[in-house]
Structure 1
């Protein structure tokens, strides 16, 4: 028994039939291989990369969801968490460096 479908077909083969569920995966793999890109580069990874770049650019979760097509902010957070972690880490390192610079630039008073 197949599952009941409710989606509208938007991508069709030349013969008029709908693409199979894994068509994009195979088409992407073919182009990836033709371009000599790493075999561990996957079509779905592009969505993750886009989410990371949107977060790095300072986009809000709502803006990212609009681009990525997610309906919930929880799903957006799966894609943007790594970028947020890296942004927070960079900010923390910068603050620590500034703090250390201020601390070492203060000369002790001579008694």
Structure 2
């Protein structure tokens, strides 16, 4: 009985795209993260990685905008929401069919999609 209630709750719980992220990543954050990796690569004398990170650093400096990052976050959230909705529909179909194996698989896939959505919203 509890499992049926949980499934029903998952199927009707709305997904909120407008949930604000706590601390969205900024271009400065990206640049800082790349610079830290660059320092480690230089210390390890990994020239291939140094070249790649220098290129990545230049790309961030040349092309990164806060608006672009926000748009990318929204795109990832929208994709995750669509995936959650698809997984909910798959689970509902499995429930209608009454196939225990399919229900368990669909529950796992829905849980995974919900986790990915939470991660996208937290970015």
TM-score using structure 2 length: 0.28
Pick the structure with more helix per residue: 2
Q: Which has the higher contact order (CA 8 A, sep 6+)?
A: 2
